Copies of this chain bind each other. A is one copy, B any other.
């Protein structure tokens, strides 16, 4: 158990946005919400997953929807509380703690803000070890844990409590409701026991986020190369350096979908990289069909100078970026893991090859 103060929040926000692989919402808004909650309600208690009693009820809190919409329609805080309280009433059991469902600028921060407000601890665990765009894309799903009962709440005061036969139906019905609610909603989902979490969650995710964020901050202070520091902390590989030459993005069926194109610079000159995304970056491939990294492995786009992560909605024409890859959690490399979040699921006609093998083949040109 330890306390999270302002510096920890700052670092976690940066690291979470990086592991959010372009999605998971705007890190700036998320950070402000968490900082303001600490200001108002005091520091947040962070629990190790082993500190949670086996029978305790833990409920992740998250925002659902396209990050492009979240930018224009920031959550007020009331809807997260409403979703949480409705689910608690329905389950008839007190919620012991909350947690993030994924790593991401907004979705790592929102549970912290909610925890501060409600005086609950946060558990250092998530269900992805990164961000993914759909509700069933969590390790809990791989382990047969139900997403429902879940509650969606919007900023107007509408709520919807879902019980579904499986987590793919949860995603479908909740997505339809979220789109109708204006493109984003706050959700309380995957109510779990401490035992579920220990068996199925990805532990120490906030710790990792904090270390990544801290390494970028310290690199700046020490005039060191932030990219190098990040790669060390995140066990990652540099894949490409380039300037954004095109960004094609649209919000459809509740997601931000598109492709960002980078013209190579330095040793990558002459090559062109395309990064495809659905909320998150999912596929990095050169225009001559050389695969650099593909989902479920992590693709992050960093500012070449500051090392700070750039979200899909933050990619701007002309920006100089470094694209890095990081291996995903081993659970995603199983058969069911790849069925759930592999390239085929997203409609990409490539086979999954682990990042480490692609790197061996010579990712760096």
Binding site for B on A (CB under 8 A): 86, 90, 156-165, 169, 172-173, 175-177, 179-181
Which residues in B have their C-beta under 8 angstroms from that of A176? Answer: 176-177, 179-180
- Top 10 nearest A-B pairs (CB, nearest first) are A176-B180, A161-B161, A176-B176, A157-B165, A158-B164, A159-B163, A160-B162, A173-B180, A172-B180, A158-B169
Which residues in B have their C-beta under 8 angstroms from that of A181? Answer: 173
One complex includes copies of this chain to the number of 2
Q: B157 to A177, Cβ gap below 8 A? A: no
Q: B169 to A156, Cβ gap below 8 A? A: yes
Q: How far is the CB of A118 from chain B (nearest CB, A)?
A: 20
Which residues in B have their C-beta under 8 angstroms from that of A160? Answer: 160-163, 173, 177
Which residues in B have their C-beta under 8 angstroms from that of A175? Answer: 180
Q: Of all chain B residues, which has the CB nearest A170?
A: B158
Q: How far is the CB of A163 from chain B (nearest CB, A)?
A: 5
Q: B173 to A165, Cβ gap below 8 A? A: no
Q: Of all chain B residues, which has the CB nearest A162?
A: B160
Select one of B164, B169, B177 contacting A173, CB under 8 A: B177
A180 to B179, CA, bound (A): 12
Q: A173 to B161, Cβ gap below 8 A? A: no
Which residues in B have their C-beta under 8 angstroms from that of A180? Answer: 172-173, 175-176
Which residues in B have their C-beta under 8 angstroms from that of A164? Answer: 157-159
Contacts A/B (CB < 8 Å), 17 sampled: A86-B163, A90-B90, A157-B165, A158-B163, A158-B164, A158-B165, A158-B173, A159-B162, A159-B163, A159-B164, A160-B160, A160-B162, A161-B161, A173-B177, A176-B176, A176-B180, A177-B177
Which residues in B have their C-beta under 8 angstroms from that of A159? Answer: 162-164
A181 to B163, CA, bound (A): 13
A90 to B90, CA, bound (A): 8
Q: Of all chain B residues, which has the CB nearest A178?
A: B176
A161 to B158, CA, bound (A): 11
A350 to B90, CA, bound (A): 47
Which residues in B have their C-beta under 8 angstroms from that of A158? Answer: 162-165, 169, 173
Q: Of all chain B residues, which has the CB nearest A169?
A: B158
Which residues in B have their C-beta under 8 angstroms from that of A86? Answer: 163
Which residues in B have their C-beta under 8 angstroms from that of A179? Answer: 176
A175 to B160, CA, bound (A): 13
Extra inter-chain contacts (5) besides given A160-B161, A161-B161, A172-B180, CB under 8 Å: A158-B162, A160-B162, A160-B173, A161-B162, A176-B176
Q: How far is the CB of A182 from chain B (nearest CB, A)?
A: 10
Q: How far is the CB of A154 from chain B (nearest CB, A)?
A: 9
Q: A165 to B156, Cβ gap below 8 A? A: yes
Q: Of all chain B residues, which has the CB nearest A163?
A: B159
A165 to B181, CA, bound (A): 12
Q: Which of A156, A159, A160, A181 has the most CB of B within 10 A?
A: A160
A86 to B160, CA, bound (A): 13
A340 to B175, CA, bound (A): 28
A179 to B165, CA, bound (A): 17
Q: How far is the CB of A206 from chain B (nearest CB, A)?
A: 32
Which residues in B have their C-beta under 8 angstroms from that of A161? Answer: 160-162
A164 to B160, CA, bound (A): 8
A224 to B159, CA, bound (A): 55
Q: Of all chain B residues, which has the CB nearest A180?
A: B176
Q: How far is the CB of A180 from chain B (nearest CB, A)?
A: 4
A179 to B180, CA, bound (A): 12
Q: How far is the CB of A16 from chain B (nearest CB, A)?
A: 30
